[in-house]
Structure 1
Amino acid sequence: MVESSEPRWLVLDGYEDEPAAFGVPPYVGFHIRYVCGVLESAGLDYEYMTVDRYRQALKTNPESIAKRLENCLGMVCIAGAVVPGKYLRGTPISLKETQTLIRNLPHGTPALFGGWAIRGWKQQGWTPLRPNLFLAVQDTDATLAHFLEKGEWKHQRRTAEQWTAWAQAGAASKAVTDHPDLGNETQAGPLTYEVEVYQGCVRYKRGCKFCIEPKKGVPIWRTPEDIIEEVRIAHDAGVHHVRLGGMTDTYTYMAEGVRELEYPVPDPEPIAKLLHGLREDERLGILHTDNGNPSIIAENMEPSEAITKTLVETLSDGAVLSFGLESADPSVHEANWLNCDPAQLKTAIRLINKHGSVRGER
């Protein structure tokens, strides 16, 4: 991280942590990269700083933070965790830290705060009053791009074209190259690149009560080619490890009948194309995936078995397929609209263990 006296934007990574979006180290989240991708695409200079480095600087050299805030052209922060949790390393930015940061910003400096934590705090009544401060409740990256182009704050959704452009620009941005977990040419660090495969959930009509993903609506897919190209760019920037995120259910990536069926039918081909395409790059180290819905697996055994075999062939040994299930108790299932019943859960576990229980070599 190189300090500069020249005015530039400050991007503060407050570490997102969503059900289908990891951004706490060693992961680098995709939303913070999209923000950097917007600035990269606009040709604007900026500094990327993790919230841990921000905290450390506040303790050891608070003058450096004050100077950064005084000199910045504007600031963007992706904040934090939706559900409180315990972390072994980095911890997402808190509401108290966010409030202090806002108070320390020079009067009138453009400041954009986004992420599901911001939405949650806002719904709880948090409405900080200061000029040129905006709390994004849609896509932070698209909201920033609109401000840079029009000079006004307005909630925005990114288009499919913007999604691709900012994902690819963000793959080689300072969120990657200046991340403390990246390592160097002689010793690779533990940085794991969280890539967004899709957004939304097939249970968008009546999803698990505790989860935010159904609120995103009908799933919007990215193509295997688009994702593979983004990861290739990330490899060029020094990334070794990848996690396929944004997938509320790995098995329903590009599935059939998402709008019409209670249990959409998995399509083994797109996920196989994606996983094998990623594995073809010899620079790829660890490859992990996101969640799996037991009810989808249980109600579509033949295509689910084909996908399971692909996961075993391509994912790193020790990879975990999270079922996102807090309990198999029928009363808990009914009260919380969970994603499967006990019978479906047992069927899914048997299938996964049939192919995935063997100790591998990778």
Structure 2
Amino acid sequence: MRCVIIDGYVDEPAVLGVPPYVSTYVRYTAGLFLIKGFEVDYYTVDQVRANNMWHAFSVYDTMVIIGGLTVPGKYVGGNPITPDEVKKLFDINTKPYRILIGAIGKAFSNKGGSFAKKFDFDVEEVVEDFSSWISQEFGADYLQSIRETSIAGAEIVKFHPRFPDVICEIEVSLGCERRTFCTFCTEPILHPKFFSRPVKDIVDEVEALYKNGVRAFRLGRSANIIAYGSDFNSGTINPNAVNELYNGIRSKCDDIRVLHTDNANPTYIAKNLEKSVKILESIVKYNTSGDILSFGVESFDEIVRKKNNIDGTVEDIDLAVKVVNEIGGLRDSGGVPKLLPGINIIFGLFGETKKTYEINYNKLLWYLENDLLLRRINLRQIMIFPGTPLYYLSQRKNVRPDKRLFEHYKYLIRNNVDTPMLKKVFPLGTIIRYVIPEFSEGKITFGRPLGTYPILIGVPAKFSEPTDIVVVGYGHRSLTGVRLVELNKLTIEELESIPGIGKKNALRIKQGDFSTVDKKAENFVKKFFVEIKLN
């Protein structure tokens, strides 16, 4: 028997599966069918598009498409599947037993400021509740099912077109520890119950992936990493569980390139400060640099927060941002901070006014002015998903972002906060390791390292393999860098981009003539490039 899995990519509040990420759904599903004795093939939707493979799947007994977005995003590594593409694949390939997995089976939208709409698919199975489905198919409870399928499905990553340069999302808990939920969030719809996976199960899964060649992991399948293991501890915060988890992973996998996390609740940190500090210290001890704790702030407007049942106060958020900076702000040998907060803002929530936009902007400015570093700021327009309280409220109230105000304040934040914040997070001369090329525009190659919300870097040179990059400049949400190679191997454009060099000096350096190079430019090269290369 043969099964084909087509990865249409997922993006939910607590799981990401757009390349270079490989989602949990893909690996668990592969493991299930492998355990059942199937031969399993795996393709991404981008492979289907690029190779015109729409008619290629009738030879299989079972065809599984995985996809769905419940939060809006812009993606560099791939383009998520659309309902029309799902229908095209299923309509053409009618011989296999056809299964659709993911939020796309409930509803779909690919942009913020919109309602996700329901689509009908003519297939044998639409799996909306993945945890119940895989438990039923495997014949055991969810924890046992994913323990077995996650380990069995680890080998599927080798068929990803970007392998070995992939990062695997690791599920550490399911659902949200809060029992009253934000009005807009899909996590309690997709995963109603909160529970943590046993430490051993997670460590064994990571080890299986590691043995199959994966070197980058994100403990991201969690609504709040700080709450991991609280259900082992009568519902209270559990620093020992988090420490045991990170230590266990490190003890099994000695040369991990990336060990990052994602979501954390700033209010949970503030309300459990002493024990949260211990957890943050454990994360910083065992993680790799460039890590981010994504704070679902959503709004700094206290009125909006209350109307949308968002946990805690702005003072809680401020305290959490401060504590993460204090513990995670230390830098590696290349100058990259170990762990910083990220801020998610949603525009278009119930109760929002013009003042809300100003409040959000001024708070972000306040962080900048007070040297409280934010690794990234996500600005999104609300996607209203069926089943959320906000969806039902929107039937009676006007719940939409003001697009004019959104674009205006987005411009202000990008120019007045993002760029100066990048300069603080990544000072000139910072080395970013293992930058993977993504795409080119003219003479510029854009690349990113593996990790949580990896920074985009434009390099005025062609390179096709992962390369270490030195930061020499800034965009609104990106960096300019030059390759960390011998100075005479840099392109003219790279040399020109180094502050203090200029076109004439670049030509002289390229020709090996330093005799007439300005002293200021020479000193800059020695300080930020040559000495770093020698070290």
Q: Do Structure 1 and Structure 2 share a fold, with TM-score over 0.5?
A: yes
Structure 1 residue 344 displacement after superposition: 0.7
Once the two structures are superposed, what CA deviation does each residue of 1:38-91 show, in whole Å capped at 9, x if it has no partner?
111112112100111011112xxx5xx42x222111201111212332111202
| Identical columns (%) | 30
User: CA–CA distance in 2 between the matches of 1:335 and 1:45?
Assistant: 50
Once the two structures are superposed, what CA deviation does each residue of 1:220-252 show, in whole Å capped at 9, x if it has no partner?
211111111111111110000000022111111
The alpha-carbon distance between structure 1 residues 350 and 125, as it changes in their structure 2 partners (threshold 3 A), is closer
Structure with the largest fraction of strand: 2
User: CA–CA distance in 1 between the matches of 2:232 and 2:61?
Assistant: 47
Question: Given residue 177 of structure 1, which amino acid in structure 2 is its aligned partner?
Answer: K
Structure 1 residue 306 displacement after superposition: 0.5
Are 1:35 and 2:4 counterparts?
Answer: no
Correspondences of 1:1-362 after superposition (within 5 Å): 8-58=2-52, 62=53, 65-66=54-55, 68-106=56-94, 108-121=95-108, 124-129=117-122, 133-139=124-130, 142=133, 146=137, 159-172=142-155, 174=156, 176-183=157-164, 189=165, 191-203=166-178, 205-215=179-189, 216-255=191-230, 265-280=236-251, 281-361=253-333
Structure 1 residue 94 displacement after superposition: 0.9
Is this contact kept in 2: 1:35–1:140, CA < 8 A? no
Greater RCO (CA < 8 Å, at least 6 residues apart): 1
User: CA–CA distance in 1 between the matches of 2:64 and 2:43?
Assistant: 11
The alpha-carbon distance between structure 1 residues 141 and 113, as it changes in their structure 2 partners (threshold 3 A), is farther
Once the two structures are superposed, what CA deviation does each residue of 1:100-158 show, in whole Å capped at 9, x if it has no partner?
1122122x5310001122122599442233xx521112227845973xx9xxxxxx995
Is this contact kept in 2: 1:80–1:117, CA < 8 A? yes
User: CA–CA distance in 2 between the matches of 1:142 and 1:110?
Assistant: 16
Is this contact kept in 2: 1:142–1:157, CA < 8 A? no
Q: Which runs of 5+ in 2 are unaligned?
A: 110-115, 339-535
The alpha-carbon distance between structure 1 residues 329 and 157, as it changes in their structure 2 partners (threshold 3 A), is farther
Secondary structure at the counterpart of residue 305 of structure 1: helix
Question: Given residue 331 of structure 2, which amino acid in structure 1 is its aligned partner?
Answer: R
User: CA–CA distance in 1 between the matches of 2:14 and 2:297?
Assistant: 14
Structure 1 residue 287 displacement after superposition: 0.5
Secondary structure at the counterpart of residue 208 of structure 1: coil
- Could you tell me the TM-score, scaled by structure 1's length? 0.84
Structure 1 residue 8 displacement after superposition: 2.2
Question: Given residue 119 of structure 2, which amino acid in structure 1 is its aligned partner?
Answer: W
Is this contact kept in 1: 2:69–2:108, CA < 8 A? no
User: CA–CA distance in 2 between the matches of 1:83 and 1:255?
Assistant: 26
Q: Which runs of 5+ in 1 are unaligned?
A: 1-6, 150-155, 184-188
User: CA–CA distance in 1 between the matches of 2:7 and 2:202?
Assistant: 22
Is this contact kept in 2: 1:12–1:51, CA < 8 A? yes
- Which structure's CA Rg is the greater one? 2
CA RMSD of aligned residues (A): 2.4
The alpha-carbon distance between structure 1 residues 144 and 158, as it changes in their structure 2 partners (threshold 3 A), is closer
User: CA–CA distance in 2 between the matches of 1:158 and 1:119?
Assistant: 24
User: CA–CA distance in 2 between the matches of 1:96 and 1:304?
Assistant: 45
Where in structure 1 do 4 or more consecutive aligned residues deviate above 6 Å? none
Could you tell me which residue of structure 2 aligns to residue 152 of structure 1? Answer: none
The alpha-carbon distance between structure 1 residues 247 and 20, as it changes in their structure 2 partners (threshold 3 A), is same
- Could you tell me the TM-score, scaled by structure 2's length? 0.58
Secondary structure at the counterpart of residue 36 of structure 1: helix
The alpha-carbon distance between structure 1 residues 135 and 258, as it changes in their structure 2 partners (threshold 3 A), is farther
Secondary structure at the counterpart of residue 320 of structure 1: strand
User: CA–CA distance in 2 between the matches of 1:8 and 1:78?
Assistant: 17
User: CA–CA distance in 2 between the matches of 1:272 and 1:23?
Assistant: 26
The alpha-carbon distance between structure 1 residues 240 and 303, as it changes in their structure 2 partners (threshold 3 A), is same
Structure 1 residue 218 displacement after superposition: 3.0
